[in-house]
């Protein structure tokens, strides 16, 4: 086992120990507690989708039956806890669960055709006249956090035309010409024209645009997708790092944002160098961030604790600290799994 694989396994055990529980005492179910220590009744659907994705990262690293059983129990727990079915009113949430279930089918052979059909139906209704994906049902906010993962989902299904049209909407309306970074989203009129642009910049948005461009570049071979991916990696390295380490967005939902960026930086790093010259930059961002996060980790019951800013020492989890949030710990876990993937690549030459 490589050093990074061992560290990823430690992060996995910590999340399992502190956050994973039976749902309502039901056998063959699992769900992630949103905070530790303490309990919360709040339902974070999309955090569970990323917990499922992290479990799949671990299964890909070391496929075992107990990991496979836990993945199945978590998927079952999400369906039961969501009560009304597999979907909700937020298109970004739905796309994330769709991506995790796609991976569970591909990596572990666990297919949920009913879930995929329900997610597809709901995503189809989310594409408004603008060409992008609404944030939620009946909203006029069309944003990258919904449009990006939906594009990745469609690209992986082979629906390349839909994926390309979603990404083209982002590229047309939301790229900052000064930095190359992508803005959060736009308010659109009923005819699809853009009324106002929400100019906030989040690492999450850069990640999903990068991931969608790499998927489309791989699927089509069209150079333009690689050019957009290359620009995004360089923009992230120049504007969203401190001392070469990726910048975080605090706790709560923001705790997942930079972990999501890491997931797609790895995708870029594994692309062919001739297609994506910045692949080595992507790999260095991941590995330098992982070194910082591990160096600044804390320790609590079950193993390491990560902070919301990987360059800053993590504090003991408590009710008023971001270290308590499952989202923050999942980003740390994602980061170490990403480093393990890249270290395996190095070992293979």
Residue 213 has pLDDT above 80, yes or no: yes
C-alpha 291/C-alpha 313 separation (Å) is: 12
**Structure confidence at residue 128 (pLDDT):** 78
Q: How does pLDDT run across 239-254, given as a tens digit for each residue?
A: 999 999 999 999 999 9
Please tell me the predicted confidence (pLDDT) of residue 32. Answer: 97
Q: Could you tell me if 248 and 293 are in contact, meaning their C-beta atoms sit under 8 angstroms apart?
A: no
Q: 3-state SS of the chain?
A: CCHHHHHHHHHHHHHHHHHEECCCCCCCCCEECCECCCCCCCCCHHHHHHHHHHHHHHHHHCCCHHHHHHHHHHHHHHHHHHCCCCCCCEHHHHHHHHHHHHHHHHHHCCCCHHHHHHHHHHHHHHECCCCCEECECCCCEEEHHHHHHHHHHHHHHCCHHHHHHHHHHHHHHCECCCCCCECCEEEECCCCCEEEEECCCCHHHHHHHHHHHHHHHHHHCCHHHHHHHHHHHHHHHHHCEECCEECCCCCHHHHHHHHHHHHHHHHHHCCCCCCCCCHHHHHHHHHHHHHHHHHCCEEECCEEECCCCCCCCCCCCCCCCHHHEHHHHHHHHHHHHHHHHHHHHHHCC
What are the backbone angles phi and psi of residue 198, rounded to the nearest 5°? -85, 110
pLDDT tens figures, 2-12? 999 999 999 99
- Mean predicted confidence (pLDDT) in 22-28: 91
pLDDT recorded at residue 254: 98
Give the domain CATH number at 36: 1.50.10.20
Q: Torsions phi, psi of 210, nearest 5?
A: -60, -50
pLDDT single digits (tens) 35-86: 999 877 789 999 999 999 999 999 999 999 999 999 999 999 999 999 989 9
**What is the dihedral sign for C-alpha 197, 203, 208, 212?**
positive
Q: What is the pLDDT of residue 315?
A: 97
Q: Which residue has the tokens 């727990």?
A: 77
Query: What whole-number distance in Å separates Cα of residue 230 and Cα of residue 210?
Result: 8
The CA distance from 108 to 94, in Å, is: 20
pLDDT in tens, 262-306: 999 999 999 988 989 999 999 999 999 999 999 999 999 899 999
Range of the domain at 140: 3-347
Is 90 exceeded by the pLDDT of residue 218? yes
Number of domains in the chain: 1
Q: What is the pLDDT of residue 346?
A: 61
pLDDT band at 319 (very low <50, low <70, confident <90, very high): confident
Q: What is the pTM of this model?
A: 0.96
Q: Which pLDDT belongs to residue 25?
A: 87
Whether the pLDDT of residue 349 is over 80: the answer is no
Residue-averaged pLDDT of the chain: 95
pLDDT tens for 133-191 read 999 999 999 999 999 999 999 999 999 999 999 999 999 999 999 999 999 999 999 99
Q: Quick one: pLDDT at residue 347?
A: 55
**For 299-314, how does the pLDDT look when each residue is reduced to its tens digit (9 = 90+)?**
998 999 999 999 999 9
* CA 232, chain centre distance (Å): 16
315: its two tokens: 């504090």
């Amino acid at each position: 086992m490589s050093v990074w694989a061992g560290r990823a396994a430690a992060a996995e055990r910590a999340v399992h120990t502190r956050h994973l529980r039976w749902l309502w005492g039901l056998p063959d179910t699992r769900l992630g507690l949103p905070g530790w220590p303490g309990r919360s009744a709040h339902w974070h659907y999309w955090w569970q989708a990323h917990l499922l994705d992290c479990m799949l990262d671990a299964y890909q690293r070391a496929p075992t039956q107990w990991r496979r059983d836990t993945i199945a129990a978590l998927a079952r727990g999400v369906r039961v806890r969501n009560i009304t079915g597999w979907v909700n009113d937020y298109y970004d949430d739905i796309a994330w669960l769709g991506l995790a279930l796609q991976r569970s089918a591909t990596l572990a052979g666990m297919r949920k055709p009913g879930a995929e059909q329900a997610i597809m139906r709901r995503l189809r209704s989310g594409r408004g006249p603008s060409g992008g994906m609404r944030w939620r049902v009946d909203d006029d906010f069309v944003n990258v956090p919904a449009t990006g993962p939906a594009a990745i989902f469609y690209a992986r299904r082979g629906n390349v035309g839909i994926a390309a049209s979603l990404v083209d909407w982002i590229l047309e309306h939301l790229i900052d010409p000064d930095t190359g970074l992508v803005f959060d989203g736009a308010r659109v009129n009923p005819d699809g024209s853009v009324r106002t642009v929400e100019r906030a910049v989040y690492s999450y948005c850069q990640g999903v645009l990068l991931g969608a461009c790499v998927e489309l570049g791989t699927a089509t071979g069209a150079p333009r997708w690689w050019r957009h991916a290359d620009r995004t990696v360089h923009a992230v390295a120049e504007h969203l790092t401190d001392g070469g380490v990726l910048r975080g967005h605090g706790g709560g939902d923001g705790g997942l944002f930079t972990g999501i960026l890491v997931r797609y930086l790895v995708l870029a790093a594994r692309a062919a160098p001739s297609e994506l010259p910045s692949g080595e930059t992507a790999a260095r961002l991941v590995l330098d961030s992982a070194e910082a996060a591990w160096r600044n980790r804390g320790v609590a019951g079950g193993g390491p604790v990560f902070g919301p800013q990987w360059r800053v020492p993590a504090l003991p989890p408590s009710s008023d600290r971001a270290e308590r949030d499952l989202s923050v710990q999942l980003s740390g876990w994602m980061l170490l799994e990403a480093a393990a993937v890249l270290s395996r690549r190095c070992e293979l030459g």
